[in-house]
Structure 1
């Protein structure tokens, strides 16, 4: 499987064993990877008509109470149709699906949620796989997805890991699950290969916000957009989509000097430090967990995440697999219409 051609050999890309993305310092990556929106200087890139038509179909936006937090929920389509719950990846938000969902809403009641600590959802003191699963069901019920029978969950990247956990732990809640470019870690950390990789990755840690080093506030929207990049690093296949996502990844915040407001990212910068993975680790400690619901995996054919291969994947052998040509990890940015076509084709005949 080929890596993104813009990424140089030996560049620090990918994920750590605990699924944190590897961060990079300025200058380590090509400009089109490190700062894809910088050349536009705050201007929105031109977009094709299909995209403009899709985002013109504004969803209904609401907040859902779950586990003591308010979660952002977007919905399209009629209640009573089969339900689809869309879950985004790490540090992302519900609007990552806003140009995909309208093309599914003719046949489905579609909901897109922002995970706790991301998007417009509230932050928490701790995060856990089991809590994300409860949040997903709360959002699915609030959206009326169960009015059309058990819904199908669809999750990208980190959101796909949450969907997989929910499918294994709570099969009664869903009809099927679709994962979109989900990697499940490297070799076991107690093996020689796992220890070698962990040490290499520790040496590469840079620019990760911590409790004593807060997320940066940028003085202007233009400056903030210029800092947007995809994780793991890759060229953005469609810059108009990257710009749409980036603008909805930001919120107003007081400037560091206390004079006026600037812009900062909406996600909780300390989410990884607060994430409890113990239940997920226990589920997979003894090998592949039993998953009773049908599973499908759609992935980019040149995704760096997928270079991990199947050796350590917990997915069942009968998982349906669909490769999207000429796509890296962020399939909805690289090949959005191919992703729509794959989802529509798959869901028209599956699960039987």
Structure 2
């Protein structure tokens, strides 16, 4: 069985990428009655700085922020979390939208909140729910390309229940074999190979008998928040909404509607040439947008 390389196998990494991924981080774990949760920090000892927490999308992990988060340590105490069943967080016996929101609030309650939260895709939906349910834990949220459903236009499920599992229990014979199968969903143009290589490397692990994805195979295919209007209408926390111009998940009209329903929003912010996974195809633009939003945070 071939061994996993000791580090991602970059081809031509730019200096900014190497500088970011070279920033040291440490792991933290918090034991909840239902699950052991993992999160990482880059500068946890900087207690005089406000907290900034990054939350990833579905079936991803905290390493998706490795080339984004370090650019904020000068002004923030920076953390990134793993939702249950993903990354280094443990699996749950049963998954639900409420359980994933609980992951976020448990980590914030441990010693981070109240915090600013930057969240992508499904992590953004869980953050919106936390903004509505636990506004004491979140001072400001920035939501990245999260699809909020609306009852009057979105058909399908009408309740927040799990769908069939999304993962495969298949083990692969080598790191190289499983690495060749790695894809992001939805697929999109990925102009910089080394970013893709970095997230792929951290999404694969060796177990007895072979190699597998670093996500629980029992994770449902999706968990739906159905009534977006009701959810957004309950939020009193300042929330900014950012989406990609070429996103296959969030249409421009949907982004505008989401922003219009948020009580303290500065409108939908579109990243030109960005797709759903903004940190992969427009990383430096994303850093610039996030810095601008954080530096001019609404009161």
Same fold (TM over 0.5): yes
**2:5 matched residue in structure 1:** none
**2:265 matched residue in structure 1:** 319
Alpha-carbon distance in 2 for matches of 1:111, 1:59? 9
Cα shift at 1:262: 2.1
**2:142 matched residue in structure 1:** 178
Residues 1:292 and 2:205 are matched in the alignment: no
**2:54 matched residue in structure 1:** 86
Cα shift at 1:217: 1.4
Distance 1:141 1:237, change over 3 A: farther
Give 1:270's match in structure 2, choosing from 191, 199, 218.
218
How big is the alpha-carbon RMSD for the aligned residues of Structure 1 and Structure 2? 2.7
Give 1:103's match in structure 2, choosing from 65, 71, 74.
71
Residues 1:145 and 2:91 are matched in the alignment: no
Q: Deviations over 1:121-155 (max 9, x none)?
A: 1011112232223321322344x434xxx211111
Q: Deviations over 1:279-319 (max 9, x none)?
A: x54x6475753210011011111111112732995552553
Distance 1:262 1:313, change over 3 A: farther
Question: Contact 2:241 / 2:269 at 8 angstroms: preserved in 1?
Answer: yes
Alpha-carbon distance in 1 for matches of 2:221, 2:278? 27
Alpha-carbon distance in 2 for matches of 1:345, 1:309? 23
**2:15 matched residue in structure 1:** 49
**1:252 matched residue in structure 2:** 206
**1:349 matched residue in structure 2:** 296
Gaps of 5+ in 2: 1-7, 158-164
Residues 1:218 and 2:172 are matched in the alignment: yes
Cα shift at 1:270: 2.3
**Higher relative contact order (Cα pairs below 8 Å, separated by 6+ residues):** 1
SS in 1 for 2:40: strand
SS in 1 for 2:211: strand
Distance 1:81 1:287, change over 3 A: closer
**1:70 matched residue in structure 2:** 36
Q: Deviations over 1:7-36 (max 9, x none)?
A: xxxxxxxxxxxxxxxxxxxxxxxxxxxxxx
**1:305 matched residue in structure 2:** 249
Gaps of 5+ in 1: 1-41, 199-207, 255-260
**1:194 matched residue in structure 2:** 155
* Count of residue correspondences: 282
Q: TM-score, normalised by structure 2?
A: 0.85
Alpha-carbon distance in 1 for matches of 2:87, 2:231? 33
Q: Deviations over 1:43-63 (max 9, x none)?
A: 432211111111111211122
**1:21 matched residue in structure 2:** none
Residues 1:330 and 2:277 are matched in the alignment: yes
Question: Contact 2:166 / 2:221 at 8 angstroms: preserved in 1?
Answer: no
